[in-house]
Amino acid sequence: MKFTLSWLKEHLETSASLTEITDALTMVGLELEGVEDRAKGLKTFVTAKVVEAKPHPNADRLRVCTVDPGNGETVELVCGAPNARTGMVGVFAPGGSYIPGTGITLKPTEIRGVTSNGMLLSEREMGISEEHDGIVDLDPATPIGKPAVDVMGLNDPIIDIAITPNRGDCLGVRGVARDLAAAGLGTLKPLANGPVPGAFKSSIDVKLDFDADHASACPYFVGRLIKGVANGESPAWLKEKLLSIGLRPISALVDITNLMTFDLNRPLHVFDADKVSGDLHVRLSKSGETLLALNDKEYTLDDEMTVIADDNGAEALGGVMGGEVSGVTAETVNVFVESAFFDPIRTAMTGRKLNLLSDARYRFERGIDPAFLETGMEVATRLILDLCGGEPSELVIAGTNPIQGRVIAFRPARVHGLTGIKISNDEILRILTLLGFEVSGSGETWDVTVPSWRSDIEMEACLVEEVARISGFDNIPATPLPRDTVLPTPALSEIQKRRIIARRTLAARGLTEAVTYSFMGEAEAALFADVPDSIRIANPISSELSVMRPTALANLIQAAGRNAARGFSDADLFEVGPQYAGDLPEDQTIAAVGIRTGNTAPKHWSHAVTPVDAYLAKADCEAVLGALGAPVDKLQVFTDVAAYYHPGRAGELRLGPKNTLARFGEINPRVLAALDVKGPVVAFEIFPDAVPMPKAKTAARARLTLSALQPLERDFAFVVDTDVPAAKVVQAARGAEKTLIEDIRVFDVFEGPSLGEGRKSLAITVVLQPTEKTLTDEDIEAVSQKIVVAVEKATGGVLRG
């Protein structure tokens, strides 16, 4: 919302400075967006008379002008403007001036043999518009030697403020002035709004044609016929005003409606009465009905929009835009002026459905003052009579103001209760009154009548806000939040802490955390899961972001591809974030997923380069699960894995047959090919929430018993079929003796011709921890025998000789 300082002062009697005003605007909730000082850099330019303009002796298109800049000394300059002529008053830039439009500092020059001192400027050269057809051509009566910015109305800063959706009343300058007056910046000037007597009865009548269910669409309509107007150009003051806020002057009648919109927040429409056939009927549109609007576009309406129609059909879209057919032109003589109230919601819906934004719609959908229809009409009539002449009819009034004096029960003590501000009841009363509220009653609860222009005020809390914002939020005392306990209780739940532990464990293991979008491309998602319709976005921003991700893996793999394309092929990335199986809250789960690509480490003198493998991803899973308190040694590895993994190089870590805590393995090369990423890529998916909660909530550890006896190690190598999993050997060995075996490690896996086709050797170290006495050779031999027997029985293998 833009206005100039002088425009504001038409409504606000104030001695406040520009800065005081702009600071106050922000602090009452009308946030300052900017101040444009159009006079900046133009202060040296003065009005000057062209005493004589004669042809240049050496150039056809140039003139030599003798210019009087009002300081008693005429200067001679060369000017190329076609409109330069004797007697005109223009804008003179003396030598040495900086010309904003050209970026040049003037120096005395000689142009084709004639010395030129200074310059007569166009608007473009002044930097105030694109106008460059000729030099600025002021009213010949303009006094000379005056600062051009004063004469041209440029010494009037433009203030731009942001209006929140609730403050429709401040979409007119007067509303802004009212807030500032309440905030102590001055006083609101009275509005000249007396009725203009009607000379005759309007020949056009207005009917509100709605059934009871739709009467709210347009409950109130004020019209007036004005005969014999002349719709010429607006006077300079009006044109300047509109230009200052970026509006293009069109004709006096149109300019008046724009002025009413931006000055008093009273959008109007003016019909050419001679193009209206019969009376005006305000009604709902008919499905398929069309309207050629003032913006030259044709709109097809449904049956829920408000139109103003005559015998020929819809002539205007109520609250949104007038129609081209019945619009005013330069030839218009008789006009019918509309000042109506349209339902905010219906207006908004109409504009949205038609994708049609207008200054009127913007205001109607935020709520127009329903008590200002007649007054607004009188102000507009006065303007039309002043600028266009004519003779007004009596008012045509249909319906009544739908919103009559809403009263809110208000406890002034709630101002302190809700804001902490210490403020007297007298001050509360003063603020509310200045804002236009009427207060009656006294004591604990007041009856406060809401002014007609404040449709946003719904309840007591709204009145508290009014008092607080005008009193000033700086008066709210910063108060420490009381604590229930001296020491805070933990902010994070066990489950929430797991995410942080998973994240920091993975970062400690050399992986780098990424945050990728929760959505992804449908084709990519399909590589990982069957995507249910419920997580397909109806209005995606692009096809690459069209479904909710079933796993973040695809995003990470693609990210690795992008990094490889930049020359970083060893990307170890992870993400701890959501994945989606459906659209219900329980369908969203948290996973810590990661990938490792390329080699485990860059080429280095100290070690051979090794590509990443599934065991690295398995180690990541075990490290995180261990950090989360999962019983890692009790996890079983299952090899029935999802199809996006390599079928022979992946596994799931489960606690029992059903509870999957993690997955790991190489990504299937088919998936990599589809994502256009070079392998190998190994991945893991860890589900922190699947880790069982500790049974007893105690910080105490189990009792530690330390043996005084040294542990000892025995190695065994078994020759087994190649498809015998190592876990089976280890499990059998562990089961062979319940008390002595402390640990079992696989230290060698070997396949070779010496073992025969389809055989491999698996070597394990068994750590024995004596508990009561040092083991004798016989004891050790007995345990060894048990281990050998158990493994041979379980695997069909033999102890390697």
State which of positions 471-530 bind another protein (CB under 8 A).
473-474, 476-485, 488-493, 496, 500, 503-519
- Considering the rule CB under 8 A, would residue 573 count as an interface residue with another protein? yes
Closest separation between CB of residue 484 and another protein, Å? 6
Instruction: Name the residue nearer to another protein (CB basis): 336 or 341.
Output: 341
For another protein, the binding residue among 72, 103, 140, 165 (CB under 8 A) is: 165
**Subset of 601-660 contacting another protein (CB under 8 A):** 601-602, 604-607
Closest separation between CB of residue 537 and another protein, Å? 5
Closest separation between CB of residue 228 and another protein, Å? 41
**Subset of 345-404 contacting another protein (CB under 8 A):** 345, 348-349, 352, 365-366
- Considering the rule CB under 8 A, would residue 572 count as an interface residue with another protein? yes
Closest separation between CB of residue 340 and another protein, Å? 20
Which residue, 321, 309, 319, 318, is CA-closest to 278? 309
Amino acid at site 420: G
CA angle 52, 54, 55 (to 5 degrees): 165
What is the C-alpha separation between 500 and 181, in angstroms, rounded? 53
Instruction: Name the residue nearer to another protein (CB basis): 192 or 478.
Output: 478
Interaction pattern, residues 12-31, with another protein; x per rule: CB under 8 A: --------------xxxx-x
Which residue, 525, 264, 544, is CA-closest to 535? 525
**Subset of 185-204 contacting another protein (CB under 8 A):** none
Instruction: Name the residue nearer to another protein (CB basis): 348 or 674.
Output: 348
Helices (H), 145-235: 148-151, 173-182
Counting Cα atoms < 13 Å in the Cβ hemisphere of 755 gives 20
Instruction: Name the residue nearer to another protein (CB basis): 358 or 505.
Output: 505
For another protein, the binding residue among 241, 469, 649, 759 (CB under 8 A) is: 469
Instruction: Name the residue nearer to another protein (CB basis): 572 or 622.
Output: 572
Closest separation between CB of residue 235 and another protein, Å? 36
**Subset of 535-564 contacting another protein (CB under 8 A):** 535-541, 545, 548, 555-556, 559, 562-563
Question: What string of H, E and C letters represents the secondary structure of 225-279?
Answer: EEECCCCCCCCHHHHHHHHHCCCCCCCHHHHHHHHHHHHHCCCCEEEEHHHCCCC
Instruction: Name the residue nearer to another protein (CB basis): 232 or 402.
Output: 402
DSSP 587-600: GEEEEEEEEEESBS
Query: Any idea which residue has 């002026």 for tokens?
Result: 337
What is the C-alpha separation between 646 and 456, in angstroms, rounded? 62
Cβ neighbourhood burial of 678 (10 Å; 0-12, 13-18, 19+)? middle
Closest separation between CB of residue 366 and another protein, Å? 7
Interaction pattern, residues 684-713, with another protein; x per rule: CB under 8 A: ------------------------------
Residue pair 53/86 in contact (Cβ under 8 Å)? The answer is yes
Token pair, residue 71, equals 């300081």
Residue pair 219/319 in contact (Cβ under 8 Å)? The answer is no
Closest separation between CB of residue 622 and another protein, Å? 17
Backbone phi, then psi, for 289, in 5-degree steps? -60, 145
Closest separation between CB of residue 651 and another protein, Å? 23
Using the contact rule CB under 8 A, the part of the chain among 53-61, 321-329, 457-465, 718-726 near another protein is 457-465
First CA to last CA distance, the chain? 93
Q: CA torsion 778→783→789→794, rounded to 10°?
A: 180
Cβ neighbourhood burial of 396 (10 Å; 0-12, 13-18, 19+)? buried
Closest separation between CB of residue 353 and another protein, Å? 12
- Considering the rule CB under 8 A, would residue 256 count as an interface residue with another protein? no
Closest separation between CB of residue 468 and another protein, Å? 5
What is the C-alpha separation between 313 and 666, in angstroms, rounded? 70
Instruction: Name the residue nearer to another protein (CB basis): 285 or 558.
Output: 558
For another protein, the binding residue among 588, 761, 769, 784 (CB under 8 A) is: 588
Instruction: Name the residue nearer to another protein (CB basis): 302 or 465.
Output: 465
Instruction: Name the residue nearer to another protein (CB basis): 566 or 703.
Output: 566
Closest separation between CB of residue 293 and another protein, Å? 21
Using the contact rule CB under 8 A, the part of the chain among 463-471, 625-633, 637-645, 718-726 near another protein is 463-471
For another protein, the binding residue among 197, 288, 585, 801 (CB under 8 A) is: 585
| Strand pairing report for 572-580 and 512-513 | parallel
What is the C-alpha separation between 247 and 194, in angstroms, rounded? 28
Closest separation between CB of residue 419 and another protein, Å? 4
Query: Any idea which residue has 């930097």 for tokens?
Result: 127
Residue pair 564/597 in contact (Cβ under 8 Å)? The answer is yes
What is the C-alpha separation between 801 and 794, in angstroms, rounded? 19
Residue pair 285/303 in contact (Cβ under 8 Å)? The answer is yes
Instruction: Name the residue nearer to another protein (CB basis): 365 or 685.
Output: 365
Closest separation between CB of residue 515 and another protein, Å? 5
What is the C-alpha separation between 756 and 725, in angstroms, rounded? 18
What is the C-alpha separation between 164 and 748, in angstroms, rounded? 72
Using the contact rule CB under 8 A, the part of the chain among 116-124, 395-403, 411-419, 692-700 near another protein is 411-419
Token pair, residue 84, equals 């330069």
For residue 655, the cross-strand partners are: 659
Closest separation between CB of residue 411 and another protein, Å? 11
Closest separation between CB of residue 619 and another protein, Å? 13
Token pair, residue 338, equals 């509309």
What is the C-alpha separation between 109 and 312, in angstroms, rounded? 66
**Subset of 412-431 contacting another protein (CB under 8 A):** 416-421
Instruction: Name the residue nearer to another protein (CB basis): 407 or 565.
Output: 565
Instruction: Name the residue nearer to another protein (CB basis): 151 or 170.
Output: 170
Closest separation between CB of residue 289 and another protein, Å? 23
What is the C-alpha separation between 684 and 666, in angstroms, rounded? 9
Token pair, residue 142, equals 């303009």
Closest separation between CB of residue 447 and another protein, Å? 19
- Considering the rule CB under 8 A, would residue 749 count as an interface residue with another protein? no
- Considering the rule CB under 8 A, would residue 288 count as an interface residue with another protein? no
Instruction: Name the residue nearer to another protein (CB basis): 609 or 643.
Output: 609
**Subset of 203-232 contacting another protein (CB under 8 A):** none
* DSSP 8-class letter at 138: B
Which residue, 670, 667, 484, is CA-closest to 593? 667
For another protein, the binding residue among 262, 336, 580, 664 (CB under 8 A) is: 580
Residue pair 226/384 in contact (Cβ under 8 Å)? The answer is yes
Give the interface size with another protein as a residue count (CB under 8 A).
102
Instruction: Name the residue nearer to another protein (CB basis): 29 or 223.
Output: 29
Backbone phi, then psi, for 171, in 5-degree steps? -85, 10
Using the contact rule CB under 8 A, the part of the chain among 126-134, 318-326, 343-351, 432-440 near another protein is 343-351
Closest separation between CB of residue 496 and another protein, Å? 6
What is the C-alpha separation between 132 and 473, in angstroms, rounded? 48
- Considering the rule CB under 8 A, would residue 587 count as an interface residue with another protein? yes
For another protein, the binding residue among 11, 38, 63, 167 (CB under 8 A) is: 167
For another protein, the binding residue among 44, 66, 102, 166 (CB under 8 A) is: 166
- Considering the rule CB under 8 A, would residue 533 count as an interface residue with another protein? yes
Provide the strand spans (E) within 290-373.
290-292, 298-300, 306-310, 313-317, 321-322, 335-341
What is the C-alpha separation between 593 and 556, in angstroms, rounded? 9
